[in-house]
């Protein structure tokens, strides 16, 4: 049986569309996550950035890979139902930590999060991947937007730098150009969400978000996990996140001392649907 937050229909939707809403995934952890975001913003890590193009208003802060130093994040990762839900949606026996990401758009932030797939920035290959994007404030217009079925596209979308819009890697040949899903009539899935709800999406799902023109903050916590078929893959340059000194080789599972196993279901104990 899947976790009570998950239905068979959600599993089917996740597999077919690469995106599904998980109502209340972090509902019991909203205050803890807000505290963690406050700690993170007061004491940013080495990868923190302020995403601002010339002429943009507001503040768009993001930072990642802080769960080992921010106890609130570690506790949520270890005690919330995220790993169980991830196993069900990915149809994976194993769930392994990848990293956390905080994205805050203060009121009046004009900058949109550009359309992108996360996969091409990462050194991870595989279809059993999942990112949980959870707002810590109610979201309407500044919610996450995902293109249904894009996780099955044959070629990856060109990864770019969010502010300069330059290609992220020197070699751009192997990617398709960044589409404009609204103009191109693609099926864009988005939800009005309450704090602690989560959008689950595959690393290859094309997604983006509008700026935050509302008068309240839009704090979001993202948790990235991987499943059975995830393997280390070499990219044409430094990945994001980079994890310097990781020492992994192509085809290897992610090293468990850096990316701990959060859940391992025994064969036969949890019938796959
Ligand atoms: O919060 C946002 O604006 C974008 C989030 C995102 O791109 C992600 O979580 O991968």
Give a yes or no: residue 164 inside a domain.
yes
Give a yes or no: residue 63 inside a domain.
yes
pLDDT tier, 53 (very low <50, low <70, confident <90, very high otherwise): confident
Give a yes or no: residue 245 inside a domain.
no
Q: Which atom of ligand 1 is nearest to the CA of 142?
A: 3
Give a yes or no: residue 129 inside a domain.
yes
In DSSP notation, 100-148 reads EEEEEE-TTB-PPEEEE-SGGGSSEE-S-EEEEEEESS-BSTTSEEEET
Question: Do residues 231 and 125 make contact, with C-beta atoms less than 8 angstroms apart?
Answer: yes
pLDDT tens for each residue of 181-201: 999 999 999 999 999 999 999
In DSSP notation, 201-236 reads E-TTS-EEE--B-SSS-EEEEEEEEE-TT-EE---S
Looking at residue 26, the DSSP 8-state letter turns out to be: T
Any atom of ligand 1 within 6 Å of the Cβ of 209:
yes
User: Where residue 104 sits, what CATH number does that domain have?
Assistant: 2.60.120.620
Any atom of ligand 1 within 6 Å of the Cβ of 200:
no
Give a yes or no: residue 248 inside a domain.
no
Give a yes or no: residue 57 inside a domain.
yes
How far does the centroid of ligand 1 lie from the alpha carbon of residue 266, in Å? 33
pLDDT tens for each residue of 75-90: 999 999 999 999 999 9
Between CA 237 and CA 260 the distance in angstroms is 25
Q: Which atom of ligand 1 is nearest to the CA of 133?
A: 9
Give a yes or no: residue 238 inside a domain.
no
- Taking the mean position of all CA atoms in its chain, how far away is CA 273? 25
Number of independent structural domains in the chain:
1
Ligand 1: residue of 144, 206, 221 to mutate (most ligand atoms within 8 A of CB) is 144
When pLDDT is averaged across residues 30-36 and rounded to a whole number, the result is 98
pLDDT tens for each residue of 87-124: 999 999 999 999 999 999 999 999 999 999 999 999 99
In DSSP notation, 229-251 reads T-EE---SS--SS--TT----TT
How far does the centroid of ligand 1 lie from the alpha carbon of residue 134, in Å? 9
Helix (H, G, I), strand (E, B) or coil at 98: strand
- Print the domain residue range for 154: 8-227
pLDDT tens for each residue of 141-157: 999 999 999 999 999 99
- Taking the mean position of all CA atoms in its chain, how far away is CA 127? 14
């Amino acid at each position: 049986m899947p976790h009570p937050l998950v239905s068979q229909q959600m599993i089917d939707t996740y597999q077919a569309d690469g995106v599904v809403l998980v109502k209340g995934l972090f509902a019991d952890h909203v205050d803890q996550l807000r505290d963690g975001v406050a700690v993170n913003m007061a004491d940013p890590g080495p990868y923190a950035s302020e995403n601002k193009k010339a002429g943009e208003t507001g503040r768009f802060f993001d930072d990642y890979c802080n769960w080992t130093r921010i106890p609130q994040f570690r506790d949520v990762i270890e005690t919330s139902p995220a790993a169980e839900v991830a196993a069900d949606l990915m149809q994976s026996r194993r769930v392994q930590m990848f990293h956390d990401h905080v994205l805050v758009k203060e009121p009046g932030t004009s900058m949109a999060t550009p359309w992108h797939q996360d996969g091409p920035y990462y050194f991870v290959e595989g279809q059993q991947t999942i990112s949980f994007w959870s707002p810590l404030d109610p979201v309407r217009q500044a919610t996450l937007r995902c293109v249904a079925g894009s996780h099955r596209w044959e070629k990856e979308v060109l990864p770019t730098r969010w502010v300069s819009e330059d290609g992220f890697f020197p070699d751009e040949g192997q990617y398709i150009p960044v589409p404009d899903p609204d103009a191109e009539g693609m099926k864009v899935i988005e939800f009005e969400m309450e704090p602690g709800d989560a959008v689950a999406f595959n690393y290859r799902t094309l997604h983006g978000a509008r700026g935050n023109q509302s008068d309240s903050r839009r704090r979001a916590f993202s948790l990235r996990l991987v499943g059975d078929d995830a393997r280390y893959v070499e990219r044409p340059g430094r990945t994001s996140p980079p994890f310097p000194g990781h020492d992994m080789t192509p085809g290897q599972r992610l090293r468990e001392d850096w990316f701990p196993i959060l859940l391992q279901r025994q064969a036969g104990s949890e019938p796959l649907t």
